[in-house]
Structure 1
């Protein structure tokens, strides 16, 4: 007998639904034959920017006003902004966007704070430069920075509060230096990037917001130094797996089916799913809940699970196998013990879905970013995968990269003792490099 809930659809149906709603597991395949990449042209475009006195003036502005950026970084870090707690920081970030000289500033209906940089040849399409405002830390977390010299120690300093301050500084430096770009730029502080937020900020930006269908390129600035780029979005599917039964007294009702045993059966089999190391594919049980007392057979228990892969097809395999295992675990417990008071049932509640995708090497955004990093810091480490705001545009076929701009010196991300080195001599070279990336992609110098 099949006791599994039908709240979810098959992987194929899910993919079809996502395509229909504008959020697919992966972008469409590129044409088989591709023209040779003219890397010299991209290098020349970057060189012209680096030789422009206005670019040098912008870097000098960043240098001279570095302390202002650090002050804003500290302020933004110390505004609590855990999952679904971004209202205060969104409002303040909008004020800072406006103070940085941007126009059409607003907080959209999902909570993203947005400001517009007007280009000289705007075609109705925007380049997005973003950083996420939220953190993983729940309400009540102490987010006060403890300074140890130039090291900032506090939850969220590296992921991603420094980036939010950096892109504000970029807007001010560009304005002060009199820089012009061909393209319009959206500076965005996004919400819902972390954990249960499930990319809700960028989902809204690309699918429902005012700028949906008006974005042609996307940068997410995250914790880390310049020179690397996340070019692929790791896809993930998350579920809360509920096992339910009649419950009863642990002694008096002994022999009845037990949801906890069914969950244990499920977790054991789920943990044994074989996955490839390349493409990297993973599965995990993260949270266990349920039960009422130590001397009661629980009537409900659940596990929050996470499945990820750099390859959509592999993610689909784990996804499908998980559903079979859940059904079998319920059936096994119903066969082992009495169902006189009712059987074990299982319900799969989807709690997260991050689409996968990749930005191809032959795209302009990839090549200009590569050229800018090579020209400024002498290195480019591409081809990385991760789960960031860039997943959403990548899945829609919109060129996107996640890049860094801070010192790259720090650690303990997503922990209470997260820290970041903020010294100017360690950070400014990376800010310069990433600013060059932004301006190259926005078409600096267009009259």
Structure 2
């Protein structure tokens, strides 16, 4: 889901009073000397931001092995004077910048520690002019470094916020991590009942305001059968045939254009030899939707196709030495959700984008913000600034040209201060 500037402008016209106040907060904060001083600090301290971006990128953080980067990030939180710095049970790094109102809900500013790249990947940063290249440097190490720059800017400008700010480096955002970090933060962590708003810095584009969470269901479906010699046992049931029927029938499903809903057969494997009917094969399936209801309906449909494919294969060939079966194993469950365009958090963030001189677009994606959205907690994902490309590829890059970098970074900082409420 993506809205252009016209749709955004229309969405910002019919607003509740609380949202109008939030929009006014953006203008007031931006016009004030403290915010100007904070942006000046982002500019003055930019070389340090770049140095930390390189430093953190070169600490490997493969899936489920974010510990080394997490320890380094926690050390930086402590050095910056955050309180209650901790690494929780799953590996999230947390630290608090206190607010002036002890009763206020926490505002979270986060980025994710993990990358998609496996252990052993060369993460040495290479530089060509203002372009830095390394696996994971944009997704999401730039976000991590920007969070640190925000803390220093707030301190340098002596900005106090009414609400306390919880800064977080999350684990498990990518792939099979299944949002385990942010899931723990909101369902089992020490702050699970204290969070009132959530920002995720992910990617670079400062114009994107991700207010819709694309949910996903992922399965590894293991098909089993008796197996046998390709010639001597010819005619018995074959789990590959059931898998093939599953894929064929799944790709006959017609889906609505809205809400956007998709499926993919993505990974297959199994078998032992070219001259053997396999005893076991597997198929990985990814299903996504902006709507929790549409995703649940698709999941039911696909699992029904799997069951029917098994039944059909057992009816089509001999089961004299055994039958084919299927075991759908869940390997991912990202909840769908949304923060409405009229919510003060979305309006404030969009106003911050506009105030920085960009054109805001409202979009849906799959990020850490999915989890709080699904719980009804206002959440958005925004870019950390600058330009980037080739995410999830080993030649991933970011452009660290200072002017565009600081301009983009100012968006999240302005939205954060306006949301947390600048203390007078």
* TM-score under structure 1 length normalisation: 0.89
Which residue of structure 1 aligns with residue 359 of structure 2? 379
Once the two structures are overlaid, the 10-residue window that deviates more, 97-106 or 203-212, is 97-106
Q: Does 1:437 align with 2:415?
A: yes
Deviations 1:213-249 (A, max 9, x none): 1111000011122232000000110001111011111
Q: Does 1:210 align with 2:152?
A: no
Aligned-CA RMSD value: 1.4
1:101–1:175: 8 Å Cα contact kept in structure 2? no
Cα distance, 1:93 vs structure 2: 0.6
Q: 2:145 aligns with which of 149, 165, 169?
A: 165
**How do 1:286-435 and structure 2 match up within 5 A?**
286-382=266-362, 384-407=363-386, 409-435=387-413
Deviations 1:355-413 (A, max 9, x none): 0111012322122212222222243212x100000000000000000011221x22111
1:230–1:385: 8 Å Cα contact kept in structure 2? yes
2:18–2:344: 8 Å Cα contact kept in structure 1? no
Which residue of structure 2 aligns with residue 147 of structure 1? 127
2:229–2:275: 8 Å Cα contact kept in structure 1? yes
Q: Does 1:183 align with 2:152?
A: no
**What is the distance in 2 between the residues matched to 1:169 and 1:284?**
39
1:119–1:184: 8 Å Cα contact kept in structure 2? yes
Once the two structures are overlaid, the 10-residue window that deviates more, 315-324 or 393-402, is 315-324
**What is the distance in 2 between the residues matched to 1:106 and 1:38?**
34
1:244–1:300: 8 Å Cα contact kept in structure 2? yes
SS at match of 1:187: strand
SS at match of 2:64: coil
Gaps of 5+ in 1: 1-33
Summarize the Cα distance change of 1:422–1:269 in structure 2 as closer, same or farther, 3 Å threshold.
same
2:19–2:342: 8 Å Cα contact kept in structure 1? no
SS at match of 1:50: helix
2:22–2:419: 8 Å Cα contact kept in structure 1? no
Once the two structures are overlaid, the 10-residue window that deviates more, 63-72 or 42-51, is 42-51
Which residue of structure 1 aligns with residue 29 of structure 2? 49
2:108–2:197: 8 Å Cα contact kept in structure 1? yes
Which residue of structure 1 aligns with residue 11 of structure 2? none
Cα distance, 1:324 vs structure 2: 1.1
